[in-house]
Structure 1
Amino acid sequence: MSLSFFAGWVKGQWTFTPPVPTTTYTGQTVIVTGANIGLGLEAARHIVNLDAARVILAVRTLKKGETAKTDIEATTGRKGVVEVWQLDLSSYASVKEFAAKASKLDRLDILLENAGIATEKFTLLEDNESTITVNVVSTYLLALLLLPILKSTAATTGKKSYLTIVSSEMHFMTQAPYLTSLPPTTSIFATLNDPNAKYQSDRYQLSKLLEVFASRQMVDDYMSNPDYPVITNFLTPGLCKSELMREAGLKGTIVKTAFGARTTEVGSRTLVHATQAGQDSHGRFLMNCQIRDVAPLVESEKGVVLQRRVWEELSAKLEKIQPGILKNF
């Protein structure tokens, strides 16, 4: 992370308060993943309060989702709007089952992909290390599986749909030297599956970098036409007092205190903003409710090559999980 970016980020943490969202979602259907706690819960609460017709909380544990639903209904006074659906991003079968169900909705205006994990414990889930499976592969598997209904909704309503992915400014904090130096024939994803690799502590940051690569490249390859019916963007909510850093313990508490961590309600306003941002946000990174440049590595000569490699490998992986998925663009 460059000194200038870090200074600007710290200043933003302490001096910028994301505005309370006021634009309504009247008539819209919205899916929020990871919506039983933290940023996802608060974003869903805002969206319900702003007159959405149907808000689906996509959660791993249904009981926790029902608790979140009750809480949202109590605070917004709106019942019959929130639904709780099961989604486990550690399982490709679960993602496909959820997407099959969601594809039968009469409309889907917004897919807000908030769910993710941060862990320093090495575990394989499906065919990758857990952070990569959940934050990257399953996130884009769900996105591509739901592109058809997002596109058809836009065609029906005459208004562009949204695919918004919660990423992080942490993608500035990995230079991924072990990836940029890999021979062209060596698989990036397979390299990250090595349990003896010494980079597990960097895995969350790296997963966010891979999200940036994937979002940018899929827009370049398939969604660059200004008339494309789905706006896709990716954002950081900034440092928040969420459960994401729970494994960090005291260290995490100190970091949050030192850098002015936002409440999850305040941070969630950035998620809501992204689902209403303009066409100029398409394929772009949002921070503090503004379009910002991505990390220098991403636009460097090595980054351009790495971005293409990441997307080619991810695309092949997604095609293997769900043959024909790239036709959904």
Structure 2
Amino acid sequence: MMRSQLISLPYPTKKFTGQTIIVTGSNIGLGLEAAHHFTRLDASKGEAAAASIEETTGRKGVDDVWELDLSKSESIQTFANRVDTLDRLDVIMANTGIMTKTFTRVEGNESQITVNVINTMLLSLMVLPAPRASAIKYKKPGVLSFTGSFVHYVAGYSERNAPSIFEELADEDKATMTGRYNVSKMMELLAVRELASKVSESKKESQVIVSVVNSGWVKTNMGNGEKSGLFAAFGRRYIARETEVGSRTLVHAAEGDPETHGQYLSDCKIGEVSSFVSSDAGAEEQKKVWRELSDILERVKPGIISVSEIGIKV
């Protein structure tokens, strides 16, 4: 990871002319900086923090701001309904996430599991038909990319041995919150890999390129307000990338190289997942996470799994 921080990331130059791009979490941090790049690179429409982007890029009337609260499934439904009104959607950057060491129950699960895993996937499945429809119309693959993290390498994931992973993680008496964010990013990675395998089975003309992108250690507001050790404080100040530099990894993922489908991207290229994720045990865990997650999502919105796998809403 430290070696990765020293890599100079290429400044984005590939145009997104005419494309409509959604970046969640674009009011601050990585999402906002990525939205700056997309607007600069000629995207025709974006859903982001408009005022800041217009000031930075000089382009007016390109960006809209849509409210989205990933801790509330009702907010996700409202957001997805607005997505349905778009004539075109080329790229979805699922960038929203939270980090906390305090156990809080949100919609029946610990908050990081709800936001970083369950509701991130709920949103993605609800809006997935839009880029698939655009892929057919414009004969260009869509992109659905998730902001992951290198911390999946160090996730202490003992909960996977429980009969139900999500129920185990929702038990406050058993919760180890120090590494819970790492666990949430591990589970997100597993879920996205399984989603990518299912998207691969769809018709080529409605293809969406699904990936997970690691921005590296970046100076963002995530985790602000939480106590951190001396190494974390030192690293954030002297080792972490500037937010704009980290955002280049999101733009790289949005470019939609077909070879990036199903891949973990790092330093603006295809990277390697942890040895556990790539192992046979990891493959089994990937299926288990998807089964449990599917059951949860079906309870929230019946039919979402089958509709998403068909690709176009019927």
TM-score range, shorter chain: over 0.9
Which range moves more in the overlay, 217-226 or 162-171?
217-226
SS of residue in 2 equivalent to 1:51 = coil
Q: For 1:235 and 1:12, how far apart are their aligned partners in 2? A: 14
Q: In 1, are the aligned partners of 2:156 and 2:179 still within 8 Å (CA)?
A: no
Q: In 2, are the aligned partners of 1:88 and 1:95 still within 8 Å (CA)?
A: yes
SS of residue in 1 equivalent to 2:172 = coil
Aligned runs of 1:288-327 on 2, under 5 Å? 288-326=267-305, 327=307
1:124 maps onto 2:115 in alignment = no
SS of residue in 2 equivalent to 1:85 = coil
How high is the TM-score relative to the length of structure 2?
Answer: 0.93
SS of residue in 1 equivalent to 2:241 = coil
Q: In 2, are the aligned partners of 1:175 and 1:297 still within 8 Å (CA)?
A: no
The residue aligned with 2:222 is 244
With over 3 angstroms needed to count, the CA separation of the structure-2 counterparts of 1:90 and 1:256, relative to structure 1, is: same
Supply the AA of the counterpart residue of 2:30.
Answer: L
2:172 pairs with 195, 202, 208, which one? 195
Unaligned ranges ≥5, structure 2:
310-314
Q: In 1, are the aligned partners of 2:196 and 2:211 still within 8 Å (CA)?
A: no
The residue aligned with 1:82 is 63
Q: In 2, are the aligned partners of 1:163 and 1:233 still within 8 Å (CA)?
A: yes
Q: For 2:124 and 2:58, how far apart are their aligned partners in 1? A: 31
1:229 pairs with 207, 214, 227, which one? 207
With over 3 angstroms needed to count, the CA separation of the structure-2 counterparts of 1:127 and 1:153, relative to structure 1, is: same
Q: For 1:48 and 1:96, how far apart are their aligned partners in 2? A: 26
1:267 maps onto 2:246 in alignment = yes
SS of residue in 2 equivalent to 1:244 = coil
The residue aligned with 1:328 is 308
Q: For 1:118 and 1:283, how far apart are their aligned partners in 2? A: 25
Q: In 2, are the aligned partners of 1:213 and 1:298 still within 8 Å (CA)?
A: yes
Residue 254 of structure 1 deviates from its aligned partner by 1.8
1:42 maps onto 2:33 in alignment = yes
Q: In 2, are the aligned partners of 1:18 and 1:266 still within 8 Å (CA)?
A: yes
Aligned residues: 305
Deviations 1:147-170 (A, max 9, x none): 111100011110001001000011
Q: Quick one: percent identity of the two aligned structures?
A: 41
Unaligned ranges ≥5, structure 1:
1-8, 58-67
Q: For 1:221 and 1:270, how far apart are their aligned partners in 2? A: 24
SS of residue in 2 equivalent to 1:196 = helix
Residue 272 of structure 1 deviates from its aligned partner by 0.4
The residue aligned with 1:206 is 183
With over 3 angstroms needed to count, the CA separation of the structure-2 counterparts of 1:302 and 1:10, relative to structure 1, is: same
Residue 249 of structure 1 deviates from its aligned partner by 4.4
1:25 maps onto 2:25 in alignment = no
Residue 106 of structure 1 deviates from its aligned partner by 0.5
Q: For 1:152 and 1:250, how far apart are their aligned partners in 2? A: 45
RMSD: 1.4
Aligned runs of 1:86-97 on 2, under 5 Å? 86-97=67-78
Q: For 1:247 and 1:270, how far apart are their aligned partners in 2? A: 26
Supply the AA of the counterpart residue of 1:238.
Answer: G
